[in-house]
Homo-oligomer: A and B are copies of this chain.
Amino acid sequence: MMIAKTMKTPYYAVIFTSVRTEGDQGYEETADRMIELAKEQQGFSGVESARSELGITVSYWESLEAINSWKHNTEHQMAQKSGKSKWYSKYAVRICKVETDYFFEK
């Protein structure tokens, strides 16, 4: 996983912050699948993910419409249900407009 090469601003970000329950319960496989599936969506622009005590996944999108379509994708909705019932004790979803960005590379 690398820093996402996103488009020219403005674009949109979904910040998904989560606390996992104990045990895998099929989580890793579905999490990987959701990233692959997101990459196939119209208007997808990149994703960044890290996990310590908290997990943070940020996905980037061309428009709010693209985010809304992804939210309602059938396979994604099944994963969202399992997320609530099995994998997460808490999470937050924040939909943002990225107004400015800056990239540094050595």
Give chain A's interface secondary structure class.
strand
Question: Known contacts being A49-B54, A51-B50, A54-B48, is A99 close to B95, with CB within 8 Å?
Answer: yes
Copies of this chain present in the complex amount to 2
Min CB gap A105→B, angstroms: 5
| Contact bitstring A29-73, B, C-beta under 8 A = 1, else 0 | 000000000000000000011111111101000000000000000
How many residues of A sit at the interface, in one of the four size bands? 35 or more
B90 touches A54 (CB 8 A): no
| Beyond A49-B52, A94-B100, 15 extra complex contacts between A and B, CB < 8 Å | A1-B54, A3-B54, A13-B96, A49-B54, A50-B51, A50-B53, A51-B52, A56-B56, A56-B58, A90-B105, A92-B101, A94-B101, A95-B99, A95-B100, A95-B101
